[in-house]
């Protein structure tokens, strides 16, 4: 028999459920997050709204308490694991848009950095928008990017960094592309919480992407501009 105090997620209204799921994410409760995602889907919520309004918002709160020394690495790992449980359910729904393939992107988190939730979200959204995504995972030295560019010949190189100590590595990658004379063969997009537009300019990227939706729009826009330049219509 259910405990009288036990919260039944399906009995909560949308706002209460969002609040409860943010608490559950904070507590690293993966099964509850998965259940909550299914409930929202059954209520007709769009996968993107569940991601941004509930999961990403919940992780933002985790980030604040991590910064303030209220949460520590083991707890944040559990929260990240719960978040990934929700993302796993949403991924096929975001990808399954039937959109025509519009381009290819190689994406990876830079050397020294193991944060991958944001990068994964960007990959999911890009796939949903019709891009083929080659995900190099985390902690990538420049050699990994070079090999993947050579092998997959994408239009876009995406790099993610979440630490102020690892974001300068993006310049190492871009400078290496310049040294090899291949920088202009690719659209280089960068993202991650500590970055901004000035940083992207300073390291020689084509654009800074504040979030996954901006990454999709920027990628489409820059690819279209390239096509126009090549067609002589820009």
Give residues in contact with ligand B1M (CB under 6 A): 56, 59, 62-63, 66-67, 73, 76-77, 80, 107, 112-119, 121-122, 158-160, 162-164, 189-194, 209, 211-212, 215
Contacts of 167 (CB under 8 A, 6+ apart): 110, 161, 192, 194, 195, 199
Q: Which is nearer to ligand B1M, 10 or 194 (CB)?
A: 194
Q: How far is the CB of 147 from ligand B1M (least distance, A)?
A: 18
Measured from the CB atom, the residue of 94 and 189 that comes closer to ligand B1M is 189
CB of 223 to ligand B1M, least distance (A): 13
Q: Measured from the CB atom, is 113 or 127 closer to ligand B1M?
A: 113
**Torsional class of 220: left (φ above 0), alpha (ψ -120 to 50), beta (otherwise):** alpha
Task: Work out how close the CB of 193 gets to ligand B1M at its nearest, in angstroms, rounded to a whole number.
Answer: 4
- Residue 232 Cβ vs ligand B1M, minimum distance, rounded to whole Å: 28
Nearest-angstrom CA–CA distance, 17 and 166:
36
CB atoms < 10 A from the CB of 80, how many? 17
Nearest in space to 120 (alpha carbons), one of 136, 131, 98, 104: 136
C-beta separation of 122 from 209 below 8 A: yes
């Amino acid at each position: 028999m259910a405990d009288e105090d036990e919260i039944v997620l399906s009995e909560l209204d949308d706002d209460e459920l969002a609040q409860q799921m943010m608490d559950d994410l904070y507590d690293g409760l993966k099964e509850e997050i998965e259940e909550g995602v299914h409930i929202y889907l059954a209520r007709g919520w769009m996968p993107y709204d569940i991601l941004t309004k509930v999961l990403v918002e919940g992780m933002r709160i985790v980030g604040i308490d991590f910064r303030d020394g209220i949460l520590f690495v083991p707890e944040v790992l559990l929260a990240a694991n719960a978040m990934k449980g929700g993302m796993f359910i949403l991924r096929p729904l975001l990808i399954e848009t039937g959109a025509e393939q519009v381009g290819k992107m190689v994406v990876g988190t830079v050397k020294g950095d193991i944060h991958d939730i944001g990068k994964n979200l960007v990959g999911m959204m890009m796939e949903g928008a019709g891009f083929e995504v080659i995900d190099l995972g985390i902690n990538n030295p420049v050699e990994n990017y070079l090999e993947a560019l050579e092998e997959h010949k994408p239009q876009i190189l995406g790099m993610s960094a979440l630490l102020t100590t690892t974001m300068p590595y993006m310049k190492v990658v871009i400078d290496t592309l310049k040294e090899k004379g291949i920088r202009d063969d690719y659209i280089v997009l960068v993202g991650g919480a500590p970055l901004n537009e000035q940083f992207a300019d300073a390291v020689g990227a084509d654009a800074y992407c504040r979030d996954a939706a901006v990454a999709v729009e920027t990628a489409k826009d820059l690819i279209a501009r390239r096509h126009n330049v090549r067609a002589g219509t820009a």
